[in-house]
Amino acid sequence: MKRWYGKLLGFFAGAALMRGNPLFGALVGLLIGHAFDIDWFKLRRDNPYATLGLTSDASDAEIDQAYRRLISQYHPDKLSGAATELRQQAEAKAREINSAYDRIKALRNK
């Protein structure tokens, strides 16, 4: 689900802060809220542990086990006879899992 509350909060905050010209303030706030909603400021950071369903204090064995379980579940080769859209979703999820696993391994090897 896409975020929407940034626009709403920005609209009202802009209108309240620009007492001389509340319409201009509301429009500026709306634009800033929209930028927040589409993550233009890159405030959300992906958590590789959450992608694997783990916490940051998980052991290496737990990380490997979670990775193997998820990659076996979402591997695109298991869906070779499925619809194209389903295969594409599985490929995207497998890329996400692999990326998270690689990031965790890189963080732990530092």
Per residue in 53-72, pLDDT (tens digit) is 888 889 999 999 999 999 99
Contacts of 69-78 with C-beta under 8 Å, sequence gap 24+, read: 70/97, 71/97, 71/98, 71/101
> Where, residue-wise, is CATH 1.10.287.110 in the chain?
48-108
Residue 16 pLDDT more than 70?
yes
The Cα 109–Cα 93 span in angstroms is 24
Quote the pTM value.
Answer: 0.57
Residue 39 pLDDT more than 70?
no
Q: Is 98 exposed, middle or buried (CB count within 10 Å of its CB: 0-12, 13-18, 19+)?
A: middle
Looking at domain 48-108, what is its CATH homologous superfamily? DnaJ domain (1.10.287.110)
